[in-house]
Structure 1
Amino acid sequence: MSTKPRPKHLDLTKIRLPLPGFISILHRISGFGMFLMIGVMLGVFALSLESPQGYERAAAILTSWLGKLVMLGLIWAFFHHFIAGIRFLLLDLHVGAELAAARKSSALVLILSISLTAVMGAFLW
């Protein structure tokens, strides 16, 4: 039995992850992104509490196109992290751990997180 030699230098652009692996990486990215944004959001919140002028500045920040885009990203991160977290808890309980079920639940996480983000984004704009 002959096996291929392992590559010595991985070309990360040629590695194709299956959907469950991609969802797992997005779960980590969304959690890290929310963690990084805690300070920014607390800063905007503190600005809004300083004075009426601070409140107006915070409102201007959050209603700008960049502020709305950041909020939309945070909304997606929350929904994705929450739904993927439930999926991972179920996988820990061996619910849906078979390959076909894991692929379907991964697709469901992606569909639900994007759909819920679109609904909330419609309210945001």
Structure 2
Amino acid sequence: MYHHPGNRPVNLNLAAFRFPLNAYISILHRISGVLMVAGLVVGLWWLNELILFPENFSDNLALSRSLSGQILLFAWLSGLWFHWLAGAKHLLAEHDFLGLSSCLANATLGSKILLTVFVVGEVIFAWLFWGGSL
């Protein structure tokens, strides 16, 4: 018969833990990957509509040029940008490039650099995207 090992918690409260920045980056990397796949499915469906029903091209074009279509495209491309950066960081950490996985301080510094590059790139991309240059 099974005996409970004592005072240990049975159900862990994840809100009570303080995760390092690297854990949040890893979780966001997975979430952005799932959302990118969902966006890819929607994009392929839209492309299928364009190919199979060319008479509805003007409606589809109006949808892609509407504010909601622009926001969805911008969000998908932003997710792609973050996912690529986080994937590169994971790859470099896996091979212990510049000691990224040697200690928590180096890994946190790598995550801060990733977030800085993401924000700077996102600001430049938003300026180009919403400014009408792209």
Short-chain TM bin:
0.7 to 0.9
Whether the aligned pair in 2 keeps the contact of 1:87 and 1:105 (CA below 8 Å) is yes
User: Relative contact order (C-alpha < 8 Å, sep 6+): which is higher?
Assistant: 1
Q: 2:15, 2:68 → 1: CA distance?
A: 30
What secondary structure, in the 3-state scheme, does the structure 2 residue paired with 1:17 have?
A: coil
Aligned-residue offset at 1:109: 1.5
Alpha-carbon separation, structure 2, partners of 1:122 and 1:55:
28
Q: Normalising by the residue count of structure 2, what TM-score does the alignment of the two structures yield? A: 0.77
Q: Does 1:12 align with 2:14?
A: yes
Q: What TM-score, normalized by structure 1, do the two folds share? A: 0.81
Instruction: Call closer, same or farther: CA 1:16–1:47 in 2, change over 3 Å.
Output: same
Structure 1 residue runs without a partner (length 5+): none
Deviation, structure 1 residue 26: 0.6
How far does residue 39 in structure 1 lie from its aligned partner after superposition?
Answer: 1.4
Q: What amino acid does structure 2 have at the position aligned with 1:108?
A: I
The yes-or-no answer on 1:21 pairing with 2:23 is yes
Are positions 1:35 and 2:37 aligned together?
A: yes
Give the equivalent residue in structure 2 for 1:114: 119
Q: Which amino acid aligns with 2:74?
A: L
Q: In the aligned structure 2, how far is the partner of 1:60 from the partner of 1:6?
A: 59
Corresponding letter in the other structure for 1:87: K
Shift of 1:83: 0.9
Gaps of 5+ in 2: 1-6
Mean alpha-carbon deviation: is it higher for 31-40 or for 115-124?
115-124
Say whether 1:103 aligns with 2:108: yes
Contact kept? 1:34, 1:78, Cα under 8 Å: yes
C-alpha RMSD of the superposition? 1.9
